[in-house]
Chain A
Amino acid sequence: MSVEVEPKPVGRKPLQWFDVRGRRVGMWAYVAMRLSAIGLVLYLFLHLVILSQLAVGPSAWDGFVALAKSPAFLALDVILIVGILAHGLNGLRLTLVGLGIGVPRHKTMLWIGLVLTLALALLSALAIFAAEG
C-alpha cells in the first residue's frame, strides 16, 4: 500500500457534491464541472438519438429541423453553449494547472474563464437569435 499524502474525497455521497456551503471558489468550479459534465453527457446521447432521424429519411429530419428552430429550442441551445464553454474553459484551466502551468494564477484563470464563458455565450446567443430573426 502506498502512503496517503492527501485526504481523498472518495466516498463523498453524490448529493454532497452540490453542498457548497463554506467551500472555496475552486469547489464551486468543481461542482460546476460535474454538473456540466453530467448535462453534456446526457446531451451527447440525446444528440446521437436525434441524429437517427437522418436515417429515417428526409421528411423526418427536415421536420425536426423546423421544430429545432423554435425559440424555446434556441434558448436550450444557449444553455448548451454555456455548459460547453464553462466546462471546456475550466477544463483547460485544470489541465494547465495540472501540468504545473500558471499554478499561482489558477484563481485568476477561473475568473477569466467565467468572463469568457459569459461573453462568448452572449455572442453565440446573438448569432443564434439573429440567424432566426
Chain B
Amino acid sequence: MNKPLTRERAGSWSWIFQAFTGALLLILLGLHMVAQHFIVKGGLRTYADVVTYISNPIIFVLEVLFLIVVTWHALLGVRAILFDLGLKPAAERRVTVILTVIGVAAVGYGVWLSATLVARGVS
C-alpha cells in the first residue's frame, strides 16, 4: 500500500471542502472554458462582446459563482501547502487570516469589475 499522499493537520473538513469545490470546478471551469473561449471565434472576446456577454444575468451569476469557488479552492490549497511546512499554531492562524483577506478581496474585485462593465454597457 502507498502511504497517504498528504495529511494536513487542519483535519478533514478542508479535505471535504476541497473535494466538493473541486467537483464543482469540473463543471464551472468546464462551462467557463467552453463558453468564454472555445466557442468564441479566436478564443477571446472583443471588449464590446465581453460587455454583452457578462450583461446576461445567468452568465453573470455563473461567472461570479465560478470566481468564488475557484478562489476558495485555490487559497485552501495554498493553505494546505503552507501548513505542510510545519507552522506554529499562531502562524497557521495568521496564514488563514491573510488568505481569507486575499480571497474576499479577489472576489470583491471580480464582482466590482463585472458590475462595472454591465453598468457601463456597450456604447
A residues with CB within 8 A of B:
6-14, 24, 26-27, 29-30, 33-34, 37-38, 40-41, 44-45, 48, 51-52, 54-55, 57-58, 61-62, 65, 68-69, 74, 77, 84, 88, 91-92, 94-95, 98-99, 124, 127-128, 131-132
Q: Are A37 and B5 interface neighbours, CB within 8 A?
A: no
Name the residue of chain B whose CB is nearest to the CB of A95. B19
Chain B 68-89 interface mask (CB, 8 Å, partner A; 1/0): 0011001101100101111000
For A99, what are the chain B residues with a Cβ–Cβ distance below 8 Å? 19
Which chain B residues (1-23) contact chain A, with CB distance < 8 Å? 2-9, 15, 19, 22-23
Which B residues contact A (CB, under 8 angstroms)? Answer: 2-9, 15, 19, 22-23, 25-26, 29, 33, 38, 41-48, 50, 70-71, 74-75, 77-78, 81, 83-86, 106, 109-110, 113, 116-117
Residues of B within 8 A of A94 (CB): 5, 19
- Taking chain B's interface residues, is the majority helix, strand, or loop, or is none over half, making it mixed? helix
A residues in contact with B70, CB < 8 Å = 44
A9 to B9, CA, bound (A): 10
Nearest B residue (CB) for A33 = B5
User: Is the Cβ of B106 less than 8 Å from the Cβ of A45?
Assistant: yes
Q: Is the CB of B26 within 8 A of A88?
A: yes
Q: Is the CB of A54 within 8 A of B6?
A: no
Taking the closest CB of chain A, its distance from the CB of B71, in whole angstroms, is 7
| Contact yes or no, B3 A88, CB < 8 A | no
A9 surroundings in chain B (CB, below 8 A):
3, 6-7, 84
Q: Identify which of B8, B9, B42 gathers the most chain A CB atoms within 10 Å of its CB.
A: B42
List 9 A-B pairs, minimum CB-CB distance, nearest first: A11-B86, A58-B47, A95-B19, A61-B47, A26-B2, A30-B5, A91-B22, A8-B7, A41-B74
